[in-house]
């Protein structure tokens, strides 16, 4: 069980890292980013497609939560830094 958990955790972390690295490429189409991440896990890391989809979904949820918690820059922030 530990080996399975470690594998799942590692592949989910790989998916989250991919999402973070490639988010700027898919600003207008998050579905494409999701599918690209699934394809990456399947092809580059040889994760079975059904498992890759589940892992990307879990990583996507973490990714979205992280984005919501990140403070956004507004005009006041930009003025204070200049």
What is this structure's pTM? 0.76
Give the residue-averaged pLDDT of 12-30: 92
CA distances 9 to 30, 31, 82, Å, are 23, 23, 41
**Which pLDDT belongs to residue 8?**
95
Distance from C-alpha of 82 to C-alpha of 58, rounded to nearest angstrom: 38
**Which pLDDT belongs to residue 71?**
60
Give the residue-averaged pLDDT of 1-15: 90
Count CA atoms within 13 Å of residue 25 on its CB side: 12
Distance from C-alpha of 66 to C-alpha of 45, rounded to nearest angstrom: 24
**Which pLDDT belongs to residue 76?**
52
Residue 68 has pLDDT above 60, yes or no: yes
């Amino acid at each position: 069980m530990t080996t399975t958990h470690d594998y799942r955790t590692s592949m989910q972390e790989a998916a989250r890292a991919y999402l973070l690295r490639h988010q700027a490429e898919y600003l207008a189409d998050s579905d494409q980013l999701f599918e690209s991440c699934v394809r990456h896990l399947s092809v580059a890391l040889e994760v079975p497609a059904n498992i890759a989809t589940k892992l990307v979904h879990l990583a996507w949820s973490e990714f979205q939560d992280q984005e919501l918690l990140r403070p956004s820059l507004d005009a006041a922030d930009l003025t204070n830094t200049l």
